[in-house]
Amino acid sequence: MSSSPPPSGEAPAITASGPASAAPETDPSPPTESAPLLGRPGDATQKPDSPLSRNLVLGTAWLAQLGALVLLATVLVAVLTHPALPLVTPHPLLQTLGVVAVVQAVLVLQPTFTPEAKAAGQTAHAALQALAVALLVAGAAVIEANKRAHGLPHFHSAHAYLGVATLALLALQGAFGLTIWAVPRVWGGVDQAKALWKYHRWVGYAVLISLLATVTTAAKTDYVKKVLEVKFWPVLLGVALIVAGVFPRIHPRKLGIQRS
């Protein structure tokens, strides 16, 4: 979900006081093409003097952070208030932490606009995605070990199928983005690699939706419902808040969609 550079050759906007380039550095209004899916230009775009960490709460991002907190708190309370099972209990906790890491990886990169901000955002995004994959793989390994130890079926629910498919897609997506970013020669050079960023973003948002669907179906499994006694509504609330916080900040131009 890394960002591509703004299109070159654009004429500066003319205002009553002259060219846009004469505006103060703190002017929060970037070119119109950078307007998010919902909102005005500048609502979800990092300012030149703004720290990268502010991207995590910029615009509607605070809703996504609240949703991540709701999910994490729901699982944490359930795990801490019920007897621990070594080959089961770590699974929901590790998977939830993985989801939280993915959300942070998306939020930190979405608003970047200048080349310097993009470079810093890409580094943070890659690190957070690597952490997310490690957490999700560890969580999957725990539950796989439990199934093998007790002779349980590997696929017996929508959650299991979605989980495996999402993890595989996330790994492929990560490898795709890493090669574009770190070794663009694999795709024929920097220019050719940059042309692929929009596909990386499209797939990235699809992975996030799949990941949230996996979380939602987890709330319907017997272990989560009957053993951890997790209610469905806080899980659904957390997922809805993440969607409400992430998707309005999408910049259509970064997905290759040109607004008229």
Interatomic CA distance for residues 129 and 234, integer angstroms? 25
Say yes or no to pLDDT of 192 above 50: yes
Report the b/e string of 38-73 with b at 16+ CB within 10 A: eeebbbbbbbeeeebeebbebbbbebbbbbbebbbe
Least confident of 1-10, 105-114, 116-125: 1-10
CA distances for 1 relative to 122, 196, 215, 249, angstroms: 9, 11, 21, 13
CATH code of the domain occupying 14-255? 1.20.120.1770
Q: Report the predicted TM-score, pTM, of the whole model to 2 decimal places.
A: 0.85
3-state DSSP assignment of residue 219: coil
Interatomic CA distance for residues 18 and 20, integer angstroms? 7
Over residues 110-152, the pLDDT tens digits come to 999 899 999 999 999 999 999 999 999 999 999 999 989 888 8
Q: What is the per-residue pLDDT for 10?
A: 39
Interatomic CA distance for residues 55 and 123, integer angstroms? 14
Q: What is the per-residue pLDDT for 260?
A: 60
142 vs 34, which has greater pLDDT? 142
